[in-house]
Structure 1
Amino acid sequence: MTSAADRTVHELVVISLESWDIVWRRNQYLVTELLRGDPRLRVLFVEPAADPLHEVRRGFRPRPGKGLRRADPLEGVGPDQLWLYQPTKILPRRIDPRVDSRLAGLVRRAARKVGLGHPVLWVNDPAAATLVQETDWPSLYDVTDDWLAADRAPEIRRRLLADETLLLTACDEVTVCSPHLAATKGTERDVTLITNGVDVERYRRPQRRPQDLPQGPVALYLGTVHRDRFDLDLVRRTALATRSAGSVVVVGPVLDLTGQEYEALAAAGVRILGARPWTDVPAYLQHATVLLVPHIVDDFTDSLDPLKLYEYRAVGRPVLATPVAGFRDALDPRVTVAEPEAYPGAVLAALTATATTDVHQDDDIPTWEAQGQAMRAVIERARRLSARPR
C-alpha cells in the first residue's frame, strides 16, 4: 500500500516570468518554502529565454542563455534540490512560428537531464501554453498579472489571449494572486486565491541604515520601474516638489526606460539606486521616512497584488499611495491614499511630519510560509486530478 508520504509530489518544473536573481518575487519565495518543507523535492526553475536578436535591436550586447546550472546555495535547501535553466530564443516568432514548440522541447530535455521523469508543471509565463499541450505532465497555471489588460500590440494580445484560453481550459489547477484575478479568471472554472506574503520576522528585525541611502528624510519606492505600472511623470513631479525637504529614492530594477526618461527623473532629483539583493530590502524600508506607491491606476494594475503591500505593512512605516488595488481600501491608518494631482503635496507633508514606526498594529499579514503551504496543497491536487481518467 502506498503511504501518504510516497504520494507527495517530489518533482516540479516552474516556468517563470522572471529570472532567479538577486531580486526575489513571488515565485522565488514560494519555491523556496516548498523546497525547505520537503527535502526530497527537486525543482527545475525555467527563466525567460535569452533573446540575442532583441538585445541587438535595443543596442545592447547580445548574449546567449545561461543554460542549465545548479542554483547558488540557499539556507535550508539541499545542493541538488534546485536547478535553474535559461534557454536561448534564436529567432522571433514572426520568423519562426514554431519557436514556442522549440523552447518547450528544450525544457523537456533539461528536465530529463536533472532526472525529472513526470513532474508537475507550474506555469507562470503564459507563453508556456505550448509545453502544457506537448506534455502529459500535471499542470498548474499561477496567474499573477492580467496581461490582457496591459497595453500591448494587437498581434501580441492575440497570442496572449490564445495562450491564456488554453491554460485556463487545459491546466488541472489555476491559482490567482488577487481578488480581481479571482473574479476575472474564475468565471468559467474554479480558481484558488493565494495572495502574496512576506517574511514578517525578517522584515521587522532591525537593520543598519544602508550606506547608499541619502542622509535626511527619504521618500522611497521599492519595486520594478516599468511603464506598465510606475507613473514616471508623477514621480518626477513629486521629486521636484519635495527636493527641499528630502530625497525621492527608487530601489529596484529599471526596465524599458528610454535614456530621455531616465535623465528626466535624474534631473528632477530622483535617486535611482537600481536593484538590491532581496536580503538587503528590509534595511531600505526600515530607514525610509515614507514609502511610496506612485502607480498608474488602470485595469492592469487593478489585477495586481503588489508584494510591497505586505513588505510595507511589515516594517510599519507611513505609506503614500495612489488609489491603486491593495492600497485604496486599506484600513491601516499608516496608509494615505492620494490622487495624482495631490500626491506630490501629500509626500511633502509626510517628509516633514514627525516620523513614527508601529509594527504591532497588524499581526494578520500573510506569510510566505503559510502561502507556500497553500501552494503545496494545490500542487498535490493538480497531481491527483491529472491522474484521473479524462
Structure 2
Amino acid sequence: MTELVVASLERWDDVWRRNQHLVAGLLAADPELRVLFVEPPADPTHDLLSRRRPRFGRGIREVAGVAPGRLHSVRPVKWLPRRLDRRADDRLARSIMRAARRLGMRHPLLWINDPGMAPLAERSGWPSLYDVTDDWLAADRPAAELQRTAANEATLFRLAREVVVCSPELARRKGEQRPVVLIPNAVDVDAYRRPRPRPSDLPAGPVALYLGTVHADRIDVDLCEATARALGATGRLVLVGPNLLGADDVRRLEASGARLLGPRRRDEVIGYLQHADVLVVPHVVDAFTDSLDPIKLYEYQAVGRPVVSTPVAGFRDVVDPRITIADGAGFAAAVAAAVPATTTFPAGADGPVADWAERARAMGEVLARLGRAEDPAAT
C-alpha cells in the first residue's frame, strides 16, 4: 500500500483530530506511503447566503512538518447547492480524482470519513474503507439532510470492503448491518506527560477547563452557564477549542463569567490541560453523543487531572477514581467541590492510556488487508 486518498470530515489544520493522528502514524510507519488528504468542500454560495465571507477551494498543497513530499491536501469546491446542480457531488468526485492523478496516484486506496463522499467511492472504483466516527443519522439535522446521509451511508456499506468504527456503541449500531472493525481513539501519551509552562492567557486562580469543539451538538450551554456561576469567586470556567456557538449563547456564557479562548495548536493545548485544576465534560447526553469515543477522555487521563463529566459514552464506562460522573444541578456542584481539592501536575499522570501509535498500527492492518484484496498477486 503506497497510495492513499483520505476524504475527511475536518480540515488539516493546527487542531489535530483522529484523522490527522492516524495519518501521521501511518506515514511514520511506512516510508513508501503517499497521502492525499481531502478537506471538506468549500461552499461559497452557502457562505454568501449565511452572510459570511465566501471561502473558496484550495489547490493541491504539501502539508509541512509531517512527511516531506509524501503528504498533500486539497480542498475542492461545491459551487452550487444540490437543488440547483444535481451533478454537484459528481463534480466534487471528479475534481478529487483529478487531484490524485496530478500527484501521480493511479490506483490509490480510499479512506472515507465523510459519508458525503460516497459518490467518490462510486465514481472512482478505488478500494474503499469507511471510517465511522459519528452517527450522523442520530444528529439533530433537517429531514432532507438526514435522508441524504442515510442514502450515502447505505452506499458506503455496500461498496466499502472494510468498515471501521471508533466506539463500542457504533460497533453495536453499525455491526447490525455488516461486519465492522473497532479502532478507538487515543492520545500521544509521551507528549501529554512532558511538563509544559502555564499558558499566559489562562486566568489566574483555580480553573475548570473544557477542551474540545464548542458546538451545540455536544455542549450543554445551560450546564456551562450554571457551572460558571457556581464557581463564582472560587474559580473560572474556561473553554478551549473552536467556538461554533451562536452569538446569543456566547453572550450568555461570557455574562456568567466563562472564558472562551478559541482554538489552540495541538502542541499548545497540553499546557492548558496540565495547568487546569479540574477538567470538565459538560456534554449533552443523547443518541448522537452516545455514539462517540471522545478523544478528550484519553487526553484528560494522560495528564491525570480530576475530571467531572456528564454521563456520556466513554467517561461513564471507564473505571478511574479521578473521574466523577454528575448531571443536572449536581454537575455544577461537583465541579465547584473538585476545584479546591486538586493537586498539581504531574501527580496522577501515571495511569495506563492508549497511544495513537497503537491505533495507527491497527488502521495500517486494515488498509493492508484492503490492499491485498485488490492485488491479484497476493491471492
After TM superposition, the score normalised by the length of structure 2 is 0.97
Q: Which deviates more, 352-361 or 191-200?
A: 352-361
Q: Residues of 2 paired with 1:17 and 1:107: CA distance?
A: 15
**Are 2:181 and 1:189 equivalent residues in the alignment?**
no
Task: Return the match for 1:68 from 55, 60, 66.
Answer: 60
CA positional deviation for 1:95: 1.3
Q: Residues of 2 paired with 1:385 and 1:233: CA distance?
A: 50
SS for the counterpart of 2:99 is helix
Task: Return the match for 2:28 from 6, 31, 36.
Answer: 36
Q: Residues of 2 paired with 1:348 and 1:156: CA distance?
A: 40
Q: Residues of 2 paired with 1:354 and 1:95: CA distance?
A: 57
CA positional deviation for 1:356: 5.2
Matches within 5 A, 1:1-390: 9-74=1-66, 77=67, 79-255=68-244, 257-355=245-343, 357=345, 358-359=347-348, 361-363=350-352, 365-387=353-375
CA positional deviation for 1:372: 0.3
| Aligned residue identity for 1:68 | I
CA contact (8 A) 2:278 2:342 kept: no
Q: Residues of 2 paired with 1:136 and 1:50: CA distance?
A: 24
Q: Residues of 2 paired with 1:135 and 1:115: CA distance?
A: 15
CA positional deviation for 1:328: 1.0
SS for the counterpart of 2:265 is coil
Q: Residues of 1 paired with 2:186 and 2:106: CA distance?
A: 31
Cα distance, 1:354–1:155 mapped onto 2, change above 3 Å:
closer
CA contact (8 A) 1:15 1:122 kept: yes
Q: Residues of 2 paired with 1:124 and 1:161: CA distance?
A: 14
| Aligned residue identity for 2:316 | R
CA positional deviation for 1:170: 1.1
Q: Residues of 1 paired with 2:313 and 2:191: CA distance?
A: 25
SS for the counterpart of 2:120 is helix
Give aligned-pair identity as a percent.
Answer: 54
Please list every run of 5 or more consecutive structure 1 residues that lacks an aligned counterpart in the other structure.
1-8
1:298-339 C-alpha deviation (Å, 9 max, x unpaired): 010000000001000000000000000001122100000001
Q: Which deviates more, 132-141 or 312-321?
A: 132-141
Q: Residues of 1 paired with 2:342 and 2:73: CA distance?
A: 46
Q: After TM superposition, what 4+ stretches of structure 1 lie above 3 angstroms from structure 2?
A: 356-361, 386-389
Q: Residues of 2 paired with 1:362 and 1:354: CA distance?
A: 17
Q: Residues of 2 paired with 1:308 and 1:341: CA distance?
A: 23
CA contact (8 A) 1:204 1:359 kept: no
CA contact (8 A) 1:236 1:268 kept: yes
1:282-310 C-alpha deviation (Å, 9 max, x unpaired): 11100000001000000100000000010
SS for the counterpart of 1:342 is helix
Q: Residues of 2 paired with 1:188 and 1:265: CA distance?
A: 42
After TM superposition, the score normalised by the length of structure 1 is 0.94
1:43-101 C-alpha deviation (Å, 9 max, x unpaired): 00000011111111222111211221111222xx2x21000100111001121121111
CA contact (8 A) 2:4 2:109 kept: yes
Q: Residues of 2 paired with 1:98 and 1:230: CA distance?
A: 36
1:183-202 C-alpha deviation (Å, 9 max, x unpaired): 11111321100000111011
Cα distance, 1:72–1:360 mapped onto 2, change above 3 Å:
closer
Cα distance, 1:379–1:354 mapped onto 2, change above 3 Å:
closer
Q: Residues of 1 paired with 2:91 and 2:342: CA distance?
A: 58
Q: Residues of 1 paired with 2:342 and 2:14: CA distance?
A: 34
Q: Residues of 2 paired with 1:161 and 1:321: CA distance?
A: 31
Please list every run of 5 or more consecutive structure 2 residues that lacks an aligned counterpart in the other structure.
none
Q: Residues of 1 paired with 2:194 and 2:7: CA distance?
A: 32
Q: Residues of 2 paired with 1:112 and 1:330: CA distance?
A: 45
Q: Residues of 1 paired with 2:329 and 2:356: CA distance?
A: 35
CA contact (8 A) 1:178 1:193 kept: yes
SS for the counterpart of 1:14 is strand
C-alpha RMSD of the superposition: 1.3
Q: Residues of 2 paired with 1:21 and 1:153: CA distance?
A: 28
CA contact (8 A) 1:172 1:386 kept: no
CA positional deviation for 1:359: 3.6
CA positional deviation for 1:382: 1.3
CA contact (8 A) 1:46 1:84 kept: yes
SS for the counterpart of 1:175 is strand
CA positional deviation for 1:214: 0.5
CA positional deviation for 1:149: 0.5
Cα distance, 1:388–1:298 mapped onto 2, change above 3 Å:
farther
